[in-house]
Amino acid sequence: MTEVRKPLIAANWKMYKGPRETRDFVGRFAGLYPPRTDRTIVFFPPAISIPAFLDATVGRPDLQVGVQDVHADLEGAHTGAISAPMAAETGVGWGLAGHSERRSEFGDDDADVAGKLRRLLDAGLKPILCVGETLEERTAGRLEEVLRRQIEAALGGLGGRRWSPPVLAYEPVWAIGTGETASPADASEAHAIVREVRLEAPGDAARVVILYGGSVKPDNIDALLGARGVDGVLVGGASLEPASFARICDGRFDPQLL
Ligand code: PGA
């Protein structure tokens, strides 16, 4: 029997919510969003708030948690950084790699992202590889080339490791935190490119899971989650408020619309 397709809905809290606000959010969110077996929900709080998140969700194992970033080294003199094994030891199950803010603010290049992806896998975590073009690149007609470069570079670092199913987030940089959203048609187009690049890659042929990210809100979630090829969403700003994120987690999804 083939498994029913479930959407993956992820909250990227960035540098918002310390332990106290994390506990407060979970308490309120849990009251608004009862467990559902037909979707997967993952939160990415700041690393320092992960123990508080785990504490607050003891009765809600459906609310999963991940780390926003790890270093590409296993240990070393890297002040402020954390490694993938350290993150795994805290009890998280997931990790982001290649978020555009890491690329633009912290200078992560394709080689760093490849290293982080590899470390997440080695630590037994489920990575979400973030890719996406800037407005300049899109306007210059370079969407496909940029996505291809980012994905191939990250896959190139895997050295035969198994990544199944691969989970990627297509996040156009011009839509992140701007209130601009890709249209459902634009999202479908980009997701088709991501899917094709990944399918051409060697190794596992499991169906790629592709999230859309960039100004996802309660009022556009149904349209975006309903777009062909969209398997879920990665949400920043609109995940910070319990009612807003609960509405997003209840977004309409058609498992048949591949
Ligand atoms: P946004 O952020 O929803 O605030 O645009 C998305 C992201 O950066 O993952």
The closest residue, in CA terms, to atom 6 on ligand 1 is: 236
Mean per-residue pLDDT of the chain? 94
**Alpha-carbon distance values, 213 to 57, 99, 157, 254 (Å):** 25, 10, 24, 19
* Residue 88 domain flag: yes
Q: Is 191 a catalytic residue?
A: no
Euclidean distance between CA atoms 70 and 86, whole angstroms: 9
The CATH number of the domain holding residue 59 is 3.20.20.70
Q: Quick check: 245 and 11 in contact, CB under 8 A?
A: yes
Q: Quick check: 169 and 228 in contact, CB under 8 A?
A: no
Give residue 212 CA to ligand 1 midpoint distance, Å.
10
Q: Count the domains in the chain.
A: 1
* Residue 123 domain flag: yes
Per-residue pLDDT at 258: 74
Output the DSSP codes for 145-160. Answer: HHHHHHHHHHHHTSTT
Per-residue pLDDT at 201: 60
* Residue 256 domain flag: no
CB neighbourhood size of 87 (10 A): 25
Model-wide pTM > 0.75: yes
Q: What is the pLDDT along the chain (258 residues), one digit of tens a residue?
A: 467 789 999 999 999 999 999 999 999 999 999 999 999 999 999 999 999 999 999 999 999 999 999 999 999 999 999 999 999 999 999 999 999 999 999 999 999 999 999 999 999 999 999 999 999 999 999 999 999 999 999 999 899 898 988 999 999 999 998 888 999 999 999 999 999 887 666 555 568 999 999 999 999 999 999 999 999 999 999 999 999 999 999 999 988 887
Euclidean distance between CA atoms 169 and 254, whole angstroms: 19
Per-residue pLDDT at 203: 57
Its domain, for residue 18, covers 9-249
Question: Model confidence over 49-70: pLDDT tens digits?
Answer: 999 999 999 999 999 999 999 9
Per the listing, tokens 């959203």 go with 181
DSSP class of 163 = -
Q: Is 181 in the pocket of ligand 1 (CB under 6 A)?
A: no
Per-residue pLDDT at 160: 86
* Residue 3 domain flag: no
* Residue 215 domain flag: yes
* Residue 45 domain flag: yes
Per-residue pLDDT at 256: 83
* Residue 17 domain flag: yes
Euclidean distance between CA atoms 39 and 7, whole angstroms: 5
Per-residue pLDDT at 56: 98
Region label for 63, one of left (φ > 0), alpha (ψ between -120 and 50) or beta (otherwise): beta
Q: Is 132 in the pocket of ligand 1 (CB under 6 A)?
A: no
